[in-house]
Amino acid sequence: MSTNPLDLTQSQKFMATATNQPFTSTAWSACHDSHYCNKATKQNEPAPMKSAAELLPRCPLSMLVFLWLSLDLSQHLSVSAALYQSLPQVKVYVKIYYDSPSLLCTTEELSDIELVDPYFIWVGPSGRNIKGEPYAKISETGRLILKSFDKSMSGDYTCTVSYKDVAQNKEIFLDMKFSVYAYREPDFSFKFSTRYHTQECHDPANNHFFRKFKSVEKELIADLTCRITDVEMKCHVVKVPHKGLITELFITFKVDPFGYGWEEVCRKFKHDCEDETNKRVEKARNRIEAFFKKQSIALDNMKDNTPTFYYIANSLNTIRVDHCRPGFGKNKLTHLDCSECCVVCDHGMYSPTNDVFCKPCTSVKINYYGATAC
């Protein structure tokens, strides 16, 4: 059987759609210069009804599906006219490896009225009818759930519901479009900064204290498969109101969930372990903050026996730093409703590392979602 829509009979045209045969670009290229295409697809207005011979080569591919169906139905229903309508596109965000929310092939108005001979068609990003695909669960009323959503499933999904207006003897086609994006929760790490009192900046004991500090912090979170990185210490003389000059050690360090053994932890999970790694690094943060709080309490109890090195009360500052996995990034302008999500990189964009943003690729054309290289 030929898959060129211009060569198919009316019955074959419907069968090609129902059995997921690929759409061809023949009719699409013929559409660009036609008045019908400009009217119906660019201005979202219904065009005057034309004969099948006039209409078929001029419609965009998404509309060919609906036209083939209406032609086939019209042989049995004696439909004398058809009306096509299209609604604004809706963005939907689906957490990777989870099921999507239900995508409804209806409107609030349609849900409250009777539909005569309703028929539903869902077309996926590839331009194919997705009925029967293992990842697509479609109910008899056109409700779609995308199962175990992966980044490669991102793209535009279009549902068309057709029903008969018996009073006016015409077929109504309503087109609903959804842009569906995979997203991840960002990977967390935490950046800490704190201060300790010391006698003077050139005191050799400062280095001994610093080594001990790193050892204690590392041991504090070792069982969480987290690690401490970028540990730095600098000494400064600070003029403190009502206390004069005080010498202090400024210490900064980062904590992330990718310490020794974290890969083994992730193997226990079926798909992804970002929720578990984030939970562990948050536990590490809580332990570190509790450690410094206890030091403040202990210092208050020492009174006149203050040691050389002691924690400057309330000097601990904690900042959460987000990272996105390769192929994902944040974009508050494009994805306002999921601004804190790591959303799959769009066409023409990529992210090769754990950066927080997707970058534009200018050297090659990227026509898929989630690119990790340019």
Task: Convert 220-251 into a string of H (helix), E (strand) and C (coil).
Answer: HCHHHCCEEEEEEEEEEEEEECCCEEEEEEEE
What pLDDT digit, counting tens, does each position of 308-365 carry?
899 998 999 999 999 898 999 999 999 999 999 999 999 999 999 888 899 999 888 8
225 close to 279: Cβ distance less than 8 angstroms? no
pLDDT at residue 293 in the model: 92
Least confident of 62-71, 90-99, 320-329: 62-71
For the stretch 243-302, pLDDT in tens is: 889 999 999 999 998 888 777 777 777 667 788 888 999 999 999 999 999 988 888 777
Give me the percent of the chain exceeding a pLDDT of 90: 51
With 50 as the cut, is the pLDDT of residue 75 above it? no
Q: What are the CA-CA distances from residue 186 to residues 159, 202, 339 (Å)?
A: 31, 41, 11
Residue 88 phi, psi dihedral angles, 5° rounding: -60, 150
pLDDT tens string 193-242: 999 999 999 999 999 999 999 999 999 998 998 999 999 999 999 998 98
Closest CA to 57 of 13, 26, 82, 17: 26
How high is the mean pLDDT of the chain? 78
**Structural tokens at position 139:** 């109910």
Q: What's the rounded Cα separation, in Å, for the pair 273 and 251?
A: 31
| Encoded tokens for 195 | 């201060």
